[in-house]
Amino acid sequence: MITAYLAGPDVFLPNAVAHAARKVDICAAYGIRGLPPLNEDIAALAAMTDAAAGIAIFAKDLEMMAAADIIIANLTPFRGTSADSGTLIEVGWFLGRGRPIFGYSNSAVSFQERSRAFLKHNADPLPDVTVEGFGLPDNLMIPGAVQSDGRPAMVLPEDGRDRAFDALDIFERCVAQAAKYFRLIP
């Protein structure tokens, strides 16, 4: 059975445990074992300083990533125009080890469009620097990592409409894409 590390800022949702359980169930329906990086099992987390707790979570997540065959990453923009920075570190970890990366975004808007919209309402610290084009869903390095080694592109809303951050229909399409890639489904 393929094991997937389920990366993304979903861990910050108020219902993170229930949300992760739904994602694990979706993975199981496609023959994939999902590993969500939740932290309720780290002993004494509440007794640690914030910095120590952060490092303990980092170490646990590394162990989980090492135990996974692939990553399925939620690359929906998070607190800005791009994907969550922690999730991007995890994607890079898998890329550096030559492990397959599957990614999705609940945003139907290109990175360039999101960046331009953001700059209309916020001061641009680099006004003479152009906004990246290419019509891609995020900075070119992110979809490039997902498509490395000939894997399919990031999964995006096909109907051109954004989804709620916690919507799971695009995630399920990404899981199905991974299952098809590994011939777990026809």
CATH number of the domain enclosing 153: 3.40.50.450
Average pLDDT, rounded, for the chain: 93
186 domain residue, yes or no: no
147 domain residue, yes or no: yes
pLDDT one-digit tens code per residue, 7-22: 999 999 999 999 999 9
71 domain residue, yes or no: yes
Please tell me the predicted confidence (pLDDT) of residue 153.
94
Q: Specify the higher pLDDT residue, 30 or 39.
A: 30
> What residues contact 32, with CB distance under 8 A and at least 6 apart?
1, 2, 3, 4, 175, 178, 179, 184
DSSP the chain: -EEEEEESGGGGSTTHHHHHHHHHHHHHHTTEEEE----TTSTTGGGS-HHHHHHHHHHHHHHHHHT-SEEEEE-S--SSSS--HHHHHHHHHHHHTT--EEEE-S--S-HHHHHHHHHHHS--S-TTSPPP-TT-SS-THHHHHHTGGGPPPPB--TTS----TT--HHHHHHHHHHHHHTTS--
Please tell me the predicted confidence (pLDDT) of residue 42.
67
136 domain residue, yes or no: yes
Q: How far apart are CA 171 and CA 2, in angstroms?
A: 17
pLDDT one-digit tens code per residue, 156-174: 999 999 999 999 999 999 9
Which residue is associated with the tokens 């492990």? 99
User: Residue 75 pLDDT more than 70?
Assistant: yes
User: Residue 103 pLDDT more than 70?
Assistant: yes
Mean pLDDT score, 32-49: 85
Q: Specify the higher pLDDT residue, 167 or 124.
A: 167
User: Residue 131 pLDDT more than 80?
Assistant: no
- Domain assignment of residue 122, given as a range: 2-181
Sign of torsion over alpha carbons 145, 151, 156, 160:
positive
Total structural domains within the chain: 1
